[in-house]
Amino acid sequence: MSTRVLTGITTSGTPHLGNYVGAVRPAIAASRAADTESFYFLADLHSLIKAQDPARTQRSTLEIAATWLAAGLEPDKVWFYRQSDIPEISELTWFLTCVAGKGILNRAHAYKAAVDKNVADGEDPDAGVTAGLFMYPVLMAADILLFNAHQVPVGRDQIQHIEMARDFGQRFNHVYGREYFTLPEALIDDHVATLPGLDGRKMSKSYGNTIPLFAPPAELKKLIFSILTDSRAPGEAKDTEGSPLFQLYQAFASAEETADFAQAYAEGIGWGDAKQRLFERVEREVAPLRERYETLIAKPARIEEILRDGAQRLRAKYATPFLGELRDAIGLRDLSSVSTVQAQAAPKASLPVFKQYREADGKFYFKLSDAQGQVLVQSRGFDAPRDAGLRVAAMKEASSADALPAADVELRVPADEVLAALAALREAAAQA
């Protein structure tokens, strides 16, 4: 079975060198790994939370789609689509909204940051906060869960969103009595470069310090030559540590080229010469991409065709059938399938249930309860949701007292009662 990896790209702004090095280039390389099914989508619905300029949203969608294609994304080998072209995402968002806990959403980083700023400014806590900002973790969960992604590449500041997607998926599974959703894992790559911008801070549109990825050569050179440096003169040794020029060069160069550049720093290369070398190295990699980008951007109808084709195929294979299954699960069913005279159905036996949850201490727990709500097993706290999930999986397979993870759980009833409950769960799963 292949691993499904899903990546979303928000359609806000023009792609810059930091986007390319930190997201585009590594993601495209990863998409070529064996046994990987890759999903790449343009998160245009997410962009509406901040960007409410229709022309800019359209232009950004075109630019970002063209960037990924120019950089080597192969739409016939991966799933490449626009979020708004998959209406099942929006419908699933509502399904998840109906099981998502408001308390969890209250703790979302973006919402908390907005509230904290309002309080600090003496404003009403929710001043200027839209329902879109508050609810966007649910939309993000729908993006992931609709395709049962196994892994989602994110930075460490985004781990919370994956944990929330897991929570919403687990709650839905629990409420509707079956594991409809795969619970995703955050894929963290600490080796992905974060590039400095023109002023030495992280390259970011919010700082206005970016270098557009496909700036014409003359503009690219001008921007690189405007990068801040210190006052050390030619002939004076220079430090590579903390040097924006060196970090940018390293992100594009081979190990041998980087070593040569470090040696030039030690020998006192002048800043003008260092910037020229950086410009030449970046231009060497970007020039062929720029040529493909300019060809693509001149044919927006072709990009539209690629995105719509990707969405159409993806809906047919995954989104529409799975959403139909979920609609049936929650009772949104064809009424003609209901007989006007129904025999009294035999009552369905209630089963024990596992519940995973997070407590105020930040740790993750699980418990096994019987059909009447009595707790049979209570776990200790785990630092990560994955660890709790692994213990649940181990317990589900336990067929003897020795197989129960005694160090991680407290049995609230005799072991034979716990084993009987686990056996009932296994039997129900086998008959499903």
3-state secondary structure of 261: helix
Give the pair of three-digit tokens for residue 336: 């003609």
Residue 76 marked in a binding site = no
CB 28 within 8 A of CB 210: no
Residue 77 marked in a binding site = no
Residue 205 marked in a binding site = yes
- Compute the distance between CA of residue 208 and CA of residue 326 in angstroms, rounded to an integer: 44
392: nearest Cα among 186, 179, 188, 144: 179
**Residue 362 C-beta-side C-alpha neighbours within 13 Å:** 2
Residue 157 marked in a binding site = yes
Residue 18 marked in a binding site = yes
CB 414 within 8 A of CB 407: no
Residue 1 marked in a binding site = no
Residue 202 marked in a binding site = yes
Amino acid letter for position 214: F
Residue 379 marked in a binding site = no
CB 48 within 8 A of CB 132: yes
Residue 412 marked in a binding site = no
Q: Could you tell me the CA-to-CA distances from 395 to 23, 387, 400 in Å, in that order?
A: 38, 13, 10
Rounded to the nearest angstrom, the gap between the alpha carbon of residue 31 and the centroid of all alpha carbons in its chain is: 15
Residue 206 marked in a binding site = yes
CB 71 within 8 A of CB 20: yes
Q: What are phi and psi of 33, to 5 degrees?
A: -70, 150
Residue 204 marked in a binding site = yes
31: nearest Cα among 83, 71, 77: 77
248: nearest Cα among 185, 204, 206, 198: 198
Bind-site residues for L-tryptophan:
143
Bind-site residues for ATP:
10-12, 18-19, 155-157, 195, 202-206
Bind-site residues:
10-12, 18-19, 143, 155-157, 195, 202-206
